[in-house]
Amino acid sequence: MRAEWEVENWSVRPEGMFDLAGRVALVTGAASGIGRAIALGLDAHGAHIALADRDPDGARAVAAKLHHESLLVEVNVTQEVEVQATVDKVLAKFGQIDISFNIPGINVRKPAVELTVAEWRSVVEVNLNAAFICAREVGKVMLQQRRGSMINIASARGLTGGTGQSVYSVTKAGMIQMTRCLALEWAPHVRVNAIAPGYLKTPLVREIMKDTAWFERIRNLHAMKRFGEPEEVVGAAIFLASDASTFVTGAVLSVDGGWTAGQG
């Protein structure tokens, strides 16, 4: 007699929940930092990767480390026609897009009264407008396929705010709200989630880490008393991309070493 708690028919077998073999992932911002780490992680779980970045040499260096079939696409994600062409190239190569990561982001750290309109617009253009363009174009494909997992890379700053972070926090908070809206619009077949990293040692963060006083102050605000490495996002990325998260959509997963836990 089967016990009440036993699972007779798994929808996804536990041993295969993280298997991405045969799936196609489009990773924008794949040439460095979080994007590079995620691309390598997806490849380790069997996925084919479309590496999209405005830095073709960096993307080529990542492709050289992959074990499965890949595609390199040079793209400026702020340009609608280039994003549309990127999606067309991925479909021409692989015929499908099962997973996508929207990663590119920039920051201008200034007090709000010193921030120029041009600076504000430049950050909004990359962090929010480009993210929407990428999500919309890939979403069209996933909706037609009636399957897909989209992951937007937001930020803990989109959850907490911060001094000198007005435009960055606004854009990342906007990405989180976009994630929730798209999750509702595109359910049940397409899942849309976000990852909100804390301070990771990406090229963007390593530059400001040179200010040792700032670094020590921010480091001590983390429960784990350290900054993270880009590869520490990979576990969350694989979880959201794979069948391990088939009942997860509209969620924001913080990977921040306890940063947001202490910001209440």
Strand, coil or helix: what is 20?
A: coil
Q: How many structural domains does the chain have?
A: 1
Angle, alpha carbons 235-233-48 (nearest 5°): 65
Residue 188 lies inside a defined structural domain of this protein: yes
Residue 66 lies inside a defined structural domain of this protein: yes
Q: Work out the mean pLDDT of the chain and round it to a whole number.
A: 93
> What is 156-183 written as a DSSP string?
THHHH--TT-HHHHHHHHHHHHHHHHHH
Give the pLDDT confidence score for residue 11 in this predicted structure.
81
Q: Do 117 and 163 touch, CB atoms closer than 8 A?
A: no
Residue 10 lies inside a defined structural domain of this protein: no
Question: What's 123's DSSP letter?
Answer: H
Residue 45 maps to which CATH number?
A: 3.40.50.720
Calculate the CA 205 to chain-centre distance.
Answer: 17
What's the pTM? 0.94
Mean pLDDT over 145-168 rounds to 93
Residue 15 lies inside a defined structural domain of this protein: no
Give the pLDDT confidence score for residue 7 in this predicted structure.
76
Q: What residue numbers bound the domain in which 211 lies? A: 21-262
Question: For residues 139 and 121, what is the distance between their CA atoms, to the nearest angstrom?
Answer: 25
pLDDT above 90 as % of the chain: 78
Does residue 46 carry a pLDDT above 80? Answer: yes
Residue 12 lies inside a defined structural domain of this protein: no
Please, which residues have CB within 8 angstroms of residue 141's CB and are 6 or more apart in sequence?
Answer: 87, 91, 96, 97, 148
Residue 88 lies inside a defined structural domain of this protein: yes
Residue 190 lies inside a defined structural domain of this protein: yes
The dihedrals phi and psi of 224, each to the nearest 5 degrees, come to -90, 0
Q: Active-site residue numbers?
A: 168
In this structure, how many other beta carbons lie within 10 angstroms of the beta carbon of residue 104?
Answer: 24
Question: For residues 248 and 143, what is the distance between their CA atoms, to the nearest angstrom?
Answer: 17
